[in-house]
Structure 1
Amino acid sequence: MMRFLPALIVLAGLVQPVLAQQQVEIDADTFTVDEASRKAVFAGNVVVKHPTVTVWAPNVVATYGAGGTNDIESFEASGNVRLKTSDQDATGERAVFTPGDQLLRLTGNVKVTNSGGTVSANELVVNLATSVSTFTSGGGGRVTGVFTSQ
């Protein structure tokens, strides 16, 4: 059976670099902080480099609470999102992590690939608190997988 959870869990680490004590580098065409809406917006060819995962997306928005930028309420990457680790690659149209409920959602034409095969679905929800990953289909579609033995 394929192990998809580890590749997606590391996205959660992107929004909590202080807790993880790891450096995160973000490159983008523009960076805007809107104090009124409590949003930090990276736009245009965004590349987020974490020691264990790289994320590419046209837009990345971190919404933070009253505690400032260290109080992340949600982290959203949108528009042809790609998450890549040393052994797995995941793509979708939108990835959202909410620390409050420890849920990571990858939606829209989701495809997760590693050396064991590929799973495609409309949505992947990873519950970081319970370590349960659920692939679902939408609109009458089906979750599909192609697995290879080694």
Structure 2
Amino acid sequence: MYKIKVNSSHSFDISKDTMETLDAIETTSNHYHVIQDNTTIKASIVESDFNKKFYSVKVNNNIYEVSINDALDQQIEALGFEIGASKQVNDIKAPMPGLILEINVKEAQEVKENDALLILEAMKMENVINSPRDGVIKSISVKQGETVDKNALLIEFE
């Protein structure tokens, strides 16, 4: 199953079987003749980024921004490991239940990517929680010695 997003607003689920039955013929490089419900459609790929699975597609003189996610991409997203997602993180949540051993930052402090923010002890292991991005600490929701549940808010960025 593929998840297709068009112009960041419309989403479609398309099966591999549906993709294989698409009546499309490449007429010239990156130009296609498509027949859908007895209607002829002219399409061309204006821009493509294979690694990001992003395409600009011109269909009947209208340009659409299209992103395609396959099953692996969807699983990675569900696990919260999307490429580049860490750059957009505005809060840090506990990845597991545990005890806050140490807090290395203060509110309004500027931090760089990978700076140690705090240490969370879980299952007799010390887990250093690092900053996912450059930013300024907006608030700290926990105190040293406090126990936290999984997904508990620890730190917010401005």
Instruction: Indicate the TM-score class for this superposition, using the shorter chain for normalisation.
Output: under 0.3
TM (norm. structure 2) is 0.24
Larger Rg: 2
| Larger relative strand fraction | 1
